[in-house]
Amino acid sequence: MEPRADTQRPPAYRRVLLKLSGEVLAGPDSPISMEVTKKIARQVAEVYGSGIQIAIVIGGGNIWRGTTGLKSGLDRPTADYMGMLATIIDGLALQGALEGLGIPTRVQTAVEVRNVAEPFIRRRAIRHLEKGRIVIFVGGTGNPFFSTDTTAALRASEIEAEVILKGTKVDGIYDSDPKIHPEAKRFTQLRYLDAIQKRLSVMDSTAFSLCMDNNIPIVVFNVFTPGNLRAAIFGEPIGTRVCA
């Protein structure tokens, strides 16, 4: 797919990092639904070529969570490494969906798997972005004890992304779980420190702190609503914005 110019108005950002949890790829009967994955890919395709560079960090919770391993008796590093391998599977699925739409991609991994993905090299990742390729970062940070949210904050800092767009199943950050508490209040904007002090579970404190230190805003939005990713990239008021 050739990048196409947007004739309406320029996007709000030059380079973005899209953070997706593994759960957004899951179907009712499978940890990875290619039908659902293709819907996510079509949202990315909608904004591809609008004058922006897109990197993606994908989680692996649809296949394996480190906390699951801890409950079954595994030690934390082993459980976390299994989770890193799960993100590689999700990244390859997303790559397949994007390339099926004609969008050039590269998968870069922090856990070396030579036959299926490039090792993460910062300068190479930036060069891919400059050439119009979408870069999917997998394998977490390559270290246990760090979440893929922290990976997103780290990679965004390394590639100098202007914003982290966290695509979830809800339309922002709430003061309590809206599924349990119908009266839950959605925040339209939060400061980094407020998000950390309130211990909001949408991202871990390490990720919030890293974004705060590098002044990278975070926009949390529902990625399943058609047009939401485009709205976030074009700076429309959507979801919850966490910033200074």
Locate the DSSP E strands across the chain.
15-20, 53-58, 105-109, 118-119, 134-138, 163-168, 173-174, 186-187, 189-191, 218-222, 240-243
Is residue 20 marked as binding?
Answer: yes
Is residue 140 marked as binding?
Answer: no
Is residue 168 marked as binding?
Answer: yes
Is residue 131 marked as binding?
Answer: no
Is residue 237 marked as binding?
Answer: no
β-sheet bridge partners, residue 191: 243
Is residue 165 marked as binding?
Answer: no
CA dihedral sign of residues 12, 239, 59, 244: positive
Is residue 143 marked as binding?
Answer: yes
Asked whether 32 and 61 are in contact (CB, 8 A), the reply is no
Is residue 226 marked as binding?
Answer: no
Is residue 101 marked as binding?
Answer: no
Is residue 179 marked as binding?
Answer: no
Is residue 176 marked as binding?
Answer: no
Is residue 61 marked as binding?
Answer: yes
Residues in the chain: 244
Is residue 78 marked as binding?
Answer: no
Q: What is the CB-side half-sphere exposure of residue 59 using CA atoms within 13 A?
A: 24
Annotated binding-site residues for ATP read 19-22, 61, 65, 168, 174, 177
Q: Which residues are annotated as a binding site?
A: 19-22, 60-61, 65, 80, 141-148, 168, 174, 177
Binding residues for UMP, by number, are: 60, 80, 141-148
